[in-house]
Structure 1
């Protein structure tokens, strides 16, 4: 539920059809030039549909679960984008998939929508491809389990998911600010959004000099928002032998890598026990580490 709209799960195709046509023809056929004969397909009567309605009863968004356990036909009318409708639709679809006992769910994401799905734990896999003339990427989510992270793109999605799921606190244990991950514009943008929304990010480093030499963008961001970022450097021998790296938020989200110099690992956004374990590891290390005074403004 959100101000101005509500999401209603419609399991009966006949009841959902008028709303599906109104939204999907506007978005896919008129806006994205998808052929009408491809838009409404033979799968629709076999799917479970979710529709978002404005408070006046006008349909404004749709999504479906297919028999082969995929999310599809996610569409939101243009005036309603950026107002939480897509998030609410996706949450309703995932809830229904869980009720059905599904353990894995996949989707074909249009490239601009990848971040929406990453915020809910989906990770990309395979190569990009064209569907109905639009570039897509396959994504998958294991429900109720840790998701393997096997590529840099999946690592980026995992990090975005953990940041998006944070309420007020985010803890990152890194060797040298993870070049290729924490310096990506998508990540620094997400961290900036988190910081300006009142969030605080704590970062522990093994080697603070390396990102300083590389002029890591996250250091510059922290200088502009010093109350939202804090860096500390490991000095105690007991901590210097720790080879892993991770990010964990103050809810249940985490992304863990056994070897901190690699991107492969695993992630989960609803993994409470593991999140508590990682926070329990991070806090005493943070207390033992020294503040990185060299990262303060004008310090580089």
Structure 2
């Protein structure tokens, strides 16, 4: 997998061990204080390994895929962070899992890297735990299918993934603005960043009353950023009979619920066909809906 400044490729473990060790000892042992005896384990020779090298052939990043269908040892040397190396490594590992025809893959994410994995379609699983002295979160994703969303925490993760991967457009169809989900602080921060960065957030509501009475924070954000966030209210009987809810972005990501008053559903970030269907459905409904004038700030 080639990039302008580096290359990522699958490597044979024995031949690449010096380069793999150079990166992993730099990041895990010297930087994070992981004991050297833990960092190299008996699984290493049995794993698929990917290695990133710069244009001069120097190792700059690693990752591995274990026989237990788990991604691990993801590491990028400090000078190369924030330059797409981690994304390329993870994409290469997912491609290796696809080549093995695995259905799911999992990983233990360091807590400060959870957002990175959300952007690649992983969802949290279980409670956080300590591993090698560092807090981690178990995460999982389907290799080539939608991830099931079982509860509010997974729903929040799905929405954060959608917002963070949206390019210019994010569409939300909600019954009552989903209290407990669309009002969560981390999601509000993501909405605000998306809007002030040039994104357009459009929201269709079936029932505006509860959100208005609760002074839902998303309404306040829309009042401050009216050119970026817009509401319309569903009134046509054919639209009000729709029982579900969904969110969809312009990068092939979506989160769909058959019952709009529950969080259970499915999500996927790389399914452009389904995303196009949902965007078309949203646009048809949007054109029939009325403007949400009751949400406008006084004086506008």
8 A contact 1:52–1:89 mirrored in 2: yes
What is aligned with 1:153? 153
- C-alpha distance in structure 2 between counterparts of 1:59 and 1:11, whole Å: 12
- C-alpha distance in structure 1 between counterparts of 2:220 and 2:48, whole Å: 47
Structure 2 alignment gaps of length 5 or more: none
What is aligned with 1:48? 48
What is aligned with 1:245? 245
TM-score norm. by structure 2 comes to 0.91
What is aligned with 1:188? 188
CA separation of 1:33 and 1:47: change in aligned 2, threshold 3 A: same
1:52-104 deviations in Å (ceiling 9; x for gaps): 22334332221111111110011122333333222221112112221222221
- C-alpha distance in structure 2 between counterparts of 1:59 and 1:223, whole Å: 49
Structure 1 alignment gaps of length 5 or more: none
8 A contact 2:11–2:51 mirrored in 1: no
8 A contact 1:7–1:89 mirrored in 2: no
What is aligned with 1:64? 64
Pairing of 1:128-277 with structure 2 (within 5 A)? 128-277=128-277
Pairing of 1:8-27 with structure 2 (within 5 A)? 8-27=8-27
CA shift, 1:187, in A, is 1.9
CA shift, 1:215, in A, is 2.9
Question: Between Structure 1 and Structure 2, how many residues are aligned?
Answer: 299
Aligned with 1:107: secondary structure?
strand
CA separation of 1:48 and 1:294: change in aligned 2, threshold 3 A: same
Aligned with 1:126: secondary structure?
coil
CA shift, 1:149, in A, is 0.5
- C-alpha distance in structure 2 between counterparts of 1:82 and 1:295, whole Å: 39
- C-alpha distance in structure 2 between counterparts of 1:152 and 1:238, whole Å: 28
1:169-212 deviations in Å (ceiling 9; x for gaps): 22100122212222223322332333344321111012223223
8 A contact 1:7–1:92 mirrored in 2: no
What is aligned with 1:123? 123
1:261-299 deviations in Å (ceiling 9; x for gaps): 111111122223322322232112111111112333347
1:139-187 deviations in Å (ceiling 9; x for gaps): 1111211211012221112112222332322210012221222222332
